[in-house]
Structure 1
Amino acid sequence: MHILVVDDDPLAGEMTAALLEAQGHQPLLACDAMEAVEQLDTHSEIMLIVSDMHMPLISGLALLEMLREQGNSLPFILLTGDTPDAALQQTPGLAACLRKDAELMSTLEQAVNQALDLHD
């Protein structure tokens, strides 16, 4: 399964990609929203997007809104260093909002499986 990982922090992006790879997925990396759009245009096999929330210029939430406006309905998981509030969790079109913490390996795997099950 091809999954696009969007993160302006190269180390964090690599860590997220490594977690996804360990779960049997094929991650593609993008360092910002514009590169994410390019990757989506280039790789039609992408089935899911995992994006950092806090990025310069275009945040992960703004990327989600931009993609939805363009008619892109791929499942979208948001990662944040903060504790996600209830309003954020209820964002339309968002499959999950996860905290970047010690539990990320298990919470990310669970969220990816749920997002892909719902999308099928």
Structure 2
Amino acid sequence: MRILVVDDDSLAGEITAAYLEALGHEPVIALDAMEAASQLDTLSDIALIVSDMHMPLINGLALLEMLREQGITLPFILLTGDEPPTNATQQPGLTACLQKSADLDVTLAHAIEQAFKA
């Protein structure tokens, strides 16, 4: 499955992409919200979005809100280097909010699985 990874830190984005590739997915990397929107316009087969929470100009939550306003309802997973805010999971349309930690490969795999359970 093709997954859009949005992260202004190219190394962090590549690490996330490597986890996704190891799970058998095809990651596409965007360095900011505007590039993410462009990728979504160009690639019709993106099935899920994994975004960093803290980015300049448009953060991950604002990106989620912007996409929902545009009618894009793809599953959306937020990643943060900090402790995930307790109210983040109450954000409409947010599938999961995960901390970037040593077990991110496991928690990300679980969140993706949960996103597509019927």
Q: State the TM-score, normalizing by the size of structure 1.
A: 0.96
Deviations 1:35-54 (A, max 9, x none): 00000000000000000000
- Tell me whether 1:22 sits opposite 2:59 in the alignment: no
* SS of equivalent residue, structure 2 residue 47: strand
2-side partners of 1:116 and 1:27: how far apart? 17
Q: Please report how far the alpha carbon of residue 117 of structure 1 lies from its aligned counterpart in structure 2 after TM superposition.
A: 2.2
**Deviation per residue, 1:59-111 (Å, 9 max, x gap):** 00000000000000000000001111221121110000000000101000000
Q: Is the 8 A contact 1:48 1:116 kept in 2?
A: no
1:4-50 deviation per Cα after TM superposition (whole angstroms, max 9, x unaligned): 00000000000000000000000000000000000000000000000
2:110 is aligned with 1:103 = no
In 2, Cα distance between equivalents of 1:88 and 1:27: 24
User: Identity over aligned residues, as a percent?
Assistant: 69
Report the number of matched residues: 118
1:1-120 alignment runs, 5 A limit: 1-118=1-118
SS of residue matched to 1:50: strand
1:59 counterpart letter in structure 2: N
Structure 1 stretches of 4+ moved >2 Å:
none
Q: Give the SS at the match of 1:18.
A: helix
